[in-house]
C-alpha cells in the first residue's frame, strides 16, 4: 500500500483534510470589518446627529424654555417699582391675589371663553366644509388650495388693519355694501353685541387655510372603496359624510379641535389692534390683560402670574381632553 505524496492531487472521491481558516489580525467575523472601525463609525454618526440637534435644542432652550421658567419665577416676585427696595424680592402669592382682585380678571376670562366657543362654532366647521368642497372638485383644485391658504401668508397685523377698515361703521366696506343693498348698517366692532363676533370672523378668515389643507390631506387618505361600498348600500351624501368621512378623519378632527382651543384661548392681535379691548371691556382677553399688566402698569409679576394661570388651565384642559378622547376612542 503506497502512501500518497504530499502535494499530489487527490483521487476523485478521496476525502481530504479540512483547511484551517486563515486568521487575519484584527478580523471581526465574516464581514471582515474591525470592531473598532464599526464602533468609531457609530460614534461619529451619533455625534453628527447630536450636533444637528444641538442648534434646535439651543433655540428652544433660549426662546421657549428659559422664558417659561423665568415667567414662573417672576410670578412669585416683585420687580422694579413694585418692590420696596427697587430691586427683586420674594412676593409669595401676592401677585396672584392682585390678579384675582382685579375687576378686569373675570371679564377677560369670560370674553376669552366666549371667543373660543364662537371660534369653535364658526371657525371649526367652516374649514371642514371647505375641505369637503375642494376635495370633490375635478378642476381648479390647486387654485382653490392656494386661495384658501393665501390669508395665512398675510402678516397678522396687516390682516387686522385691513379688517379694521372693513368694519368701519362710517365708510367701511361692509357698511357701504349694506347701503348699496338698502339694508341696515351695523356698528360691527364698535358695538358691544357685535364686536366679539366680528373678531371671530377675522380670526377665522386669517387662520382657516392651514386647517383646510390638513383636512384635505386626511380626506385624500380615505380609501375610495369605502365610498363605493356606501353608495352600493344606498347611502346619500350626508350618510357618506357621517358614516365614512367623519369616522375616518376622527383623529385629525380631535387633534385640530384641541389645537384650535389652545390657540383661541391665547387670542391677542385682533382685540389689541382692532378694538383695543373695547367697547368697554367687551373684547378684553386674558393675553390682552397680560399685556396691560406688563407694558401699561409695569407690573411684570402680575403679568407672569396671569400667564401661569393660563398655562395651568390649558395644561389641565389638554390632559383631560386627551384622556377623554383616548377613553372613548
Please tell me the distance from the alpha carbon of residue 3 to that of residue 10, in angstroms, as a whole number. Answer: 12
Q: Parse the chain into domains and list their residue ranges.
A: 81-328
Q: Tell me: the pLDDT tens digits for 240-259?
A: 888 899 889 988 998 999 99
Please tell me the distance from the alpha carbon of residue 161 to that of residue 262, in angstroms, as a whole number. Answer: 24
Quick check: 11 pLDDT over 60?
Answer: no
In this prediction the pTM is 0.80
Q: Tell me: the pLDDT tens digits for 190-243?
A: 999 999 999 999 999 999 999 999 999 999 889 888 888 988 888 888 888 888
Domain 81-328 in CATH: superfamily? MetI-like (1.10.3720.10)
Amino acid at each position: 500500500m503506497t502512501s500518497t505524496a504530499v502535494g499530489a492531487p487527490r483521487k476523485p472521491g478521496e476525502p481530504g483534510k479540512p483547511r484551517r481558516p486563515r486568521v487575519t489580525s484584527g478580523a471581526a467575523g465574516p464581514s471582515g470589518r474591525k470592531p473598532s472601525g464599526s464602533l468609531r463609525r457609530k460614534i461619529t454618526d451619533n455625534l453628527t446627529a447630536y450636533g444637528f440637534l444641538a442648534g434646535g435644542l439651543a433655540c428652544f432652550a433660549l426662546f421657549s424654555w428659559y422664558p417659561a421658567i423665568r415667567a414662573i419665577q417672576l410670578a412669585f416676585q416683585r420687580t422694579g417699582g413694585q418692590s420696596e427696595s427697587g430691586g427683586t424680592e420674594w412676593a409669595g402669592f401676592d401677585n396672584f391675589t392682585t390678579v384675582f382682585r382685579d375687576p378686569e380678571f373675570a371679564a377677560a376670562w369670560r370674553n376669552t371663553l366666549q371667543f373660543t366657543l364662537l371660534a369653535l362654532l364658526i371657525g371649526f366647521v367652516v374649514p371642514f366644509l371647505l375641505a369637503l368642497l375642494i376635495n370633490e372638485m375635478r378642476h381648479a383644485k390647486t387654485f382653490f388650495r392656494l386661495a384658501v391658504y393665501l390669508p395665512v401668508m398675510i402678516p397678522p397685523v396687516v390682516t387686522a388693519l385691513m379688517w379694521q377698515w372693513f368694519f368701519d361703521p362710517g365708510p367701511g366696506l361692509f357698511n357701504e355694501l349694506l347701503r348699496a343693498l338698502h339694508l341696515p348698517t351695523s356698528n360691527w366692532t364698535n358695538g358691544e353685541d357685535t364686536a366679539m363676533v366680528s373678531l371671530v370672523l377675522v380670526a377665522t378668515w386669517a387662520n382657516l387655510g392651514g386647517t383646510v389643507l390638513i383636512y384635505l390631506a386626511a380626506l385624500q387618505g380615505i380609501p375610495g372603496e369605502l365610498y363605493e361600498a356606501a353608495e352600493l348600500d344606498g347611502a346619500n351624501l350626508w350618510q357618506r359624510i357621517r358614516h365614512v368621512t367623519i369616522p375616518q378623519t376622527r383623529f385629525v378632527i380631535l387633534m385640530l379641535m384641541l389645537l384650535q382651543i389652545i390657540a383661541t384661548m391665547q387670542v391677542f392681535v385682533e382685540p389689541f389692534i382692532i378694538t383695543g379691548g373695547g367697547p368697554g371691556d367687551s373684547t378684553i382677553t386674558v393675553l390682552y390683560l397680560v399685556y396691560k399688566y406688563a407694558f401699561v402698569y409695569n407690573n411684570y409679576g402680575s403679568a407672569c402670574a396671569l400667564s401661569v394661570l393660563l398655562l395651568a388651565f390649558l395644561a389641565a384642559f389638554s390632559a383631560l381632553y386627551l384622556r377623554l378622547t383616548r377613553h372613548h376612542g
